[in-house]
Structure 1
Amino acid sequence: MDEPTCWLCARRLGRRVEQHHPVPKSRGGRETRPVHPICHRALHATFTNKDLEKAGDNPQALARNPDLARFLAWIAGKPPDFHAPTRRPRRP
């Protein structure tokens, strides 16, 4: 049996799992995807709901953002239940 993985970073999921709406509920989204809590926070710290709606169910499109790409490179070697405070990128 395959171990479940995070929708965003593709690492194995740990004990704590959150459900992310690729299309935000406020934009009519119903489907959810399993993500690490730290990945979920990084998504919402980096993107607006409008941005998330445009990307839809495509984590590769989101990963093209330089801030998220840096996060994904940093988190890649961390254990599944790793957590740290989430920094918000500076927005103009």
Structure 2
Amino acid sequence: MTSPGDVVCWLCERPLGSKVQLHHIVPKAKKGRATVRVHPICHRTIHTHFTNAELARIDGERGPLREHEEIAKFLRWIAGKPPDFHAPTRSAQR
């Protein structure tokens, strides 16, 4: 049995705080059902840089997300922040 303090964010791997969101690793719109726990800021970052179609194509793999240039930059920046840290999420330049 895990305690809440043992649970980490699927994307950034920091401990989860009091605010947790569920991310469908394959979007619901693409028939995905499996979810993972993420910080709200990490969830927004994923959806800022990836469309539902792109997320469906990578089929729930975390590696391609973490290797994306902007997300990798975000992960370096967020690494030392507390679990409930919040900041506005920048829009992607598409």
Q: Does 1:79 align with 2:90?
A: no
Q: Does 1:5 align with 2:17?
A: no
Dislocated runs of 4+, deviation >4 Å: none
Amino acid at match of 1:41: R
Instruction: Map Cα deviations across residues 33-84 of structure 1 (whole Å, 9 max, x no partner).
Output: 0000000000001100011112222211111110111111111110000010
- 5+ long unaligned stretches in structure 1: none
2:27 to 24, 40, 43: 24
Match of 2:55 in 1: 52
Aligned partners of 1:21, 1:39: CA distance in 2, in Å? 13
Aligned partners of 1:77, 1:55: CA distance in 2, in Å? 28
- 5+ long unaligned stretches in structure 2: none
TM-score (norm 2): 0.92
TM-score (norm 1): 0.94
Q: Does 1:63 align with 2:73?
A: no
Taking every aligned residue pair, what percent have the same amino acid on both sides? 52
The aligned length equals: 91
Amino acid at match of 1:39: C
Amino acid at match of 2:26: V
